[in-house]
């Protein structure tokens, strides 16, 4: 049987050479690890609409545009995800963990000090070479 793939809109929020990251709550899938904020694309939504909704909910930012960086499929065994990763530089608001989660603006060359889910390894490699 083919596994259901969960489509996720992921936002790499960038200001200068820093990125905004959040810590996933312990009780969630891949909990306790750091992430780029975002969440599941609901039926009928475009990726941009999902990203916009999730970033308001999770980090209180309103985004005005985004550009696709990459798409990554990853099978965690218990869940299979397709991460639609977008870079966001055009936003308004004061980023913070709006759901009470830890968050931080981190310099790109310090990202390796944070533990991310396995699917993020490729994203971080690309960011380091491209930005």
Ligand X SMILES: Nc1nc2c([nH]c(=O)n2[C@H]2C[C@H](O)[C@@H](COP(=O)(O)OP(=O)(O)OP(=O)(O)O)O2)c(=O)[nH]1
40 contacts ligand X (rule: CB under 6 A): yes
Residue from the set 10, 39, 84, 127 that interacts with Mg ion by CB under 5 A: 39
From the list ligand X, Mg ion, none, partner contacted by residue 84 (C-beta under 5 to 8 A by kind): none
Cα–Cα distance, 68 to 26 (Å, whole number):
28
3 contacts ligand X (rule: CB under 6 A): no
Closest CA to 59 of 95, 27, 13, 30: 95
Q: Which of residues 97-116 bind ligand X (CB under 6 A)?
A: none
From the list ligand X, Mg ion, none, partner contacted by residue 119 (C-beta under 5 to 8 A by kind): ligand X
Cα distances (Å, whole numbers) of residue 109 to 20, 62, 89, 106: 13, 26, 18, 8
């Amino acid at each position: 049987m083919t596994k259901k793939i969960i489509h996720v809109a992921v936002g790499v929020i960038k200001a200068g050479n820093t990125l905004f990251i959040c810590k996933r709550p312990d009780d969630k899938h891949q909990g306790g690890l750091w992430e780029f904020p975002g969440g599941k694309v609901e039926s009928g939504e475009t990726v941009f609409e999902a990203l916009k909704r999730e970033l308001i909910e999770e980090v209180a930012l309103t985004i005005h545009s985004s550009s696709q960086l990459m798409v990554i499929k990853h099978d965690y065994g218990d869940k299979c995800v397709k991460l639609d990763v977008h870079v966001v530089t055009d936003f308004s608001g004061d980023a913070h963990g709006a759901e009470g989660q830890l968050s931080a603006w981190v310099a790109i060359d310090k990202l390796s000090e944070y533990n991310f889910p396995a699917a993020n390894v490729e994203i971080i490699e690309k960011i380091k070479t491209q930005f």
